[in-house]
Structure 1
Amino acid sequence: MLIRQSYIDQITPFIDMPLVKILTGVRRCGKSTIMLMLMDELKKRGISENRIVRFNFDTLEWQNTDVKQVFEIIKDKLVPSERTYLFLDEIQEIEHWERLVNTFMEEAEYNVDIFVTGSNSKMMSSEISTYLTGRYISFRIHPLSFAEYLVFRKEYGELADLSKEFLRYIEYGGFPAVHLKPLTLDEAYVIVKDIYNTTIFTDIVKRNQIRKVDQLERIVKFAFDNIGNTFSANSIKGFLESQNRKIDIETVYNYLSKLEGAYILNRCSRQDLQGREILKTQEKFYLADNAFKHAVLGYKQDDISQTLENIVYLELRRRGYDVYVGKLDTKEIDFVAEKQGKSIYVQVAYLLADKKTQEREFGNLLQIEDNFPKFVVSMDDVDMSHKGITHLNIKGFLLNSW
């Protein structure tokens, strides 16, 4: 089990604090494994095994179990007069789970520290706000970053030179299960397609009792095909109607919301850089992992610009930034990333092959009048930095601090 140290470093400072630690993210991104890593960390700190209790609710044995039964089962596992560390995996499978957690947190007789995971946005819903106000902290878990991927390749595969490994990362994506042993691309996409199907049919179709599955899948494919492009519910509606499929705007919004809720898609709003206003139209969407698109629609070399943009978006999110698309008059900045009152600006291109492309990518950033860092990221190896704008090869952007 390879340690994903960045997440451990984020979470461990909150051990023994009176907060529920909530780990969220798309299925199979590594939440359960990070739980196991946290359990090992507790053992290293001298916590006895009987005080570390884990339940995985995403199994048949918990099907149709009500919250009161679960409460009694967990209560019986608590160690009298000592703190028990509870790890509740995929807890959203238990209806009213937030009441259960609230009871353990609220009542003085229960001396517990609680960690939970979940694969849909019900983990962050209004029920949590009602029952756990001020008593939880959430951590978004993503599939492997490029840096983590390299560690997996070194341990479980055969590490090639950095450029070849990056091209492989583009094709295979970052789901940990794909990198635990050498696999062909077809074998890897079987695993990713299974993750996709499980998420669509368990977390979306079944949970929300969606009857028009074909309609949902068409919207998924439209969204996948337009990653990194601004689009609206109206454009999806028009696309479906061109295929003689009628749908209303509200249904489109609802489906997009469900895809976000299952962490397949990430919504990236636009920000007007003059008034710093968040705009509510023409948003972009990015995938939880590029391999979703490759497994569902097939891998296309022509999509590499979209893929690179998606990879950079996820890296910014992993590093704790709030990420927006920047609007500056009629120009667009790929990413405005904000953290702790500071911003960075990032343009992403495949190659800066000609003067026109260079003028566009650097020129847009030169229009921004503040002094926050500005980057152009591409696959070029030659450093083209100028006029205070840093040009980075994407591998360097992903592997280094900046």
Structure 2
Amino acid sequence: MGIRNRLWFAGDRKEFRMIERPAYMDRIRPFIGKNIIKVLVGARRSGKSTLLKLIREQLLADGAPERSMLHLNFESSATAGIRNADDLVGYVGERLGAVDGPIRLFLDEIQEVEHWEKAVRSFMVDYDADIYLTGSNARMLSSDLATYITGRYITIDVYPFSFAEFLAAYRQSVGPIDERAAFRRYVTQGGFPFQTDLAFDQAAGMQYLSDLFSTILFKDVVRHAGVRDADALERVVRHAIGEEGHLITVANIAAYMKSEQRRISAETIASYLDAACRAFLIYRVPREDAVGKRALKINEKYYVVDQGLRGAIGLDNATAIDQVLEGIVYMELRRRGYDVRVGKVGGKEIDFIARCGGETAYYQVSYLVGSQQTADREFGAFDGLDDNWPKYVLSLDEFPQTRDGIRGVNIIDWLLEKRGE
């Protein structure tokens, strides 16, 4: 491997099959080469490092010299000597100090470097620098960036594969597959991108996901949050994932822990859930009064970042298909840039109120809307809403019904954006 490749791949020698992710590249492309820090955040192994490589390829295609680029993965033994801001400044100066013109820095899992924000600010002052960061802890990145680099960065959330990406990656890596068959695999295996390297083998994939869950829990939650009782943390997080899509409170979880002979204070449980959210392992969804547009302070929902993790920790996705489908829809709404809330209309619940760019849409999610009773419940959830924003009932029905202006849409078609519009 030549010196230029060593500069790029420092701390990351393994070759990976890169899957194009055009939705992310379209968001990043306007900022490539600009004097603004690009911050990619998301769960560990969600594809942030691959996006850095795709950005590099775009820069090379645009004519940027490879000698001006440096990629450092701070979880690799190759970067073990870079522990703080001074180390990082010295390393970059040694490698790229003699480069004429702009330098391009790709700093992967930057939160591993103590006081990293001071080094990044130094690069912006001392160089004509095009900087890309990735991180797996929301609070560390957001608080440090806001404090030291105010107004000079953009944040892009990175998630595991959507179903559309999963389908494309499967067909590219393995071969043809029917959309419905692919969705069954997606429900079980989820969308973490490394499965492409495993040829989407289910047994190997589930072992990988089990190990990944432990890694996220202990490297991105326990260590960064300073948790002392890792076993209690794991029990709380597993319970929250098991209750995915159900309204729960800290008091509910405390009662569950007590039944397990583990007494934990409400404050500690809340801190555990916050830490898991900051590591992008789970997502908290608040509730609001859909008519009065005011936030409700009790009862929230949690969703796991990827349904494959749910199966990997021993939960049966098939028997909890309603919860799993709800989680898939929630994460897809986030991918599409929506701010999402759980809605309450009188005594009824709307699964999701999704807002983006001044527009609103309402979603109910159901496995099948077969019986009249189920149809009345799902479509009736919108009773009391008198606005004209679109309302959807998503299900796996092959021929979904529509009534009273509320559209029934097949979930698979919706995920693939085949909405007949």
- Matched residue SS, 2:363: strand
The alpha-carbon distance between structure 1 residues 300 and 130, as it changes in their structure 2 partners (threshold 3 A), is closer
What is the rounded CA distance, in whole Å, between the counterparts of 2:209 and 2:152 in structure 1?
Answer: 35
What is the rounded CA distance, in whole Å, between the counterparts of 1:299 and 1:50 in structure 2?
Answer: 50
Q: Which residue of 1 aligns with 2:326?
A: 309
RMSD: 1.5
Displacement, 1:275? 2.2
What is the rounded CA distance, in whole Å, between the counterparts of 1:239 and 1:383 in structure 2?
Answer: 38
- Identical amino acids, percent of aligned pairs: 38
Letter in 1 for 2:107: L
| Correspondence 1:353-364 to 2 at 5 A | 353-364=370-381
Q: Which residue of 1 aligns with 2:157?
A: 140
- Matched residue SS, 1:125: helix
What is the rounded CA distance, in whole Å, between the counterparts of 1:127 and 1:400 in structure 2?
Answer: 37
Letter in 1 for 2:110: I
- Matched residue SS, 2:212: helix
- Matched residue SS, 2:300: strand
Q: Which residue of 2 aligns with 1:344?
A: 361
Displacement, 1:182? 3.0
Letter in 2 for 1:99: K
Asked if 2 retains the 8 angstrom alpha-carbon contact of 1:92 and 1:122, the reply is: no
What is the rounded CA distance, in whole Å, between the counterparts of 2:122 and 2:418 in structure 1?
Answer: 42
Return 65-74 or 337-346, whichever deviates more: 65-74
Displacement, 1:198? 0.9
Q: Which residue of 1 aligns with 2:88?
A: 70
| Correspondence 1:2-401 to 2 at 5 A | 2-63=19-80, 65-76=83-94, 77-78=96-97, 80-105=99-124, 107=125, 109-400=126-417
What is the rounded CA distance, in whole Å, between the counterparts of 1:193 and 1:163 in structure 2?
Answer: 25
The TM-score normalised by the length of structure 1 is: 0.96
Displacement, 1:72? 1.2
The TM-score normalised by the length of structure 2 is: 0.92
The alpha-carbon distance between structure 1 residues 122 and 58, as it changes in their structure 2 partners (threshold 3 A), is farther
Asked if 2 retains the 8 angstrom alpha-carbon contact of 1:156 and 1:181, the reply is: no
Letter in 2 for 1:334: D
Asked if 1 retains the 8 angstrom alpha-carbon contact of 2:85 and 2:116, the reply is: yes
What is the rounded CA distance, in whole Å, between the counterparts of 2:98 and 2:370 in structure 1?
Answer: 65
What is the rounded CA distance, in whole Å, between the counterparts of 1:154 and 1:180 in structure 2?
Answer: 13
5+ residue gaps, structure 2: 1-17
What is the rounded CA distance, in whole Å, between the counterparts of 2:289 and 2:64 in structure 1?
Answer: 50
- Matched residue SS, 1:278: strand
The alpha-carbon distance between structure 1 residues 259 and 214, as it changes in their structure 2 partners (threshold 3 A), is same
Deviations 1:47-83 (A, max 9, x none): 1101222111111243462210111111231454411
The alpha-carbon distance between structure 1 residues 185 and 266, as it changes in their structure 2 partners (threshold 3 A), is same
What is the rounded CA distance, in whole Å, between the counterparts of 2:147 and 2:61 in structure 1?
Answer: 35
The alpha-carbon distance between structure 1 residues 269 and 307, as it changes in their structure 2 partners (threshold 3 A), is same
Letter in 2 for 1:71: V
- Matched residue SS, 2:387: coil
5+ residue gaps, structure 1: none
What is the rounded CA distance, in whole Å, between the counterparts of 1:55 and 1:79 in structure 2?
Answer: 18
Deviations 1:238-270 (A, max 9, x none): 111122211111100110011101110011111
Displacement, 1:213? 1.6
What is the rounded CA distance, in whole Å, between the counterparts of 1:15 and 1:279 in structure 2?
Answer: 40
Asked if 1 retains the 8 angstrom alpha-carbon contact of 2:71 and 2:105, the reply is: yes
What is the rounded CA distance, in whole Å, between the counterparts of 2:201 and 2:53 in structure 1?
Answer: 28
Number of residue pairs matched by the alignment? 400
Asked if 1 retains the 8 angstrom alpha-carbon contact of 2:187 and 2:317, the reply is: no
- Matched residue SS, 2:52: helix
The alpha-carbon distance between structure 1 residues 270 and 130, as it changes in their structure 2 partners (threshold 3 A), is same
Letter in 1 for 2:49: S
- Matched residue SS, 1:180: helix
Return 277-286 or 302-311, whichever deviates more: 277-286
Asked if 2 retains the 8 angstrom alpha-carbon contact of 1:204 and 1:210, the reply is: yes
What is the rounded CA distance, in whole Å, between the counterparts of 1:157 and 1:190 in structure 2?
Answer: 19
What is the rounded CA distance, in whole Å, between the counterparts of 2:401 and 2:147 in structure 1?
Answer: 52
Displacement, 1:209? 3.5
Asked if 1 retains the 8 angstrom alpha-carbon contact of 2:107 and 2:133, the reply is: yes
Displacement, 1:378? 0.1
What is the rounded CA distance, in whole Å, between the counterparts of 1:181 and 1:208 in structure 2?
Answer: 32
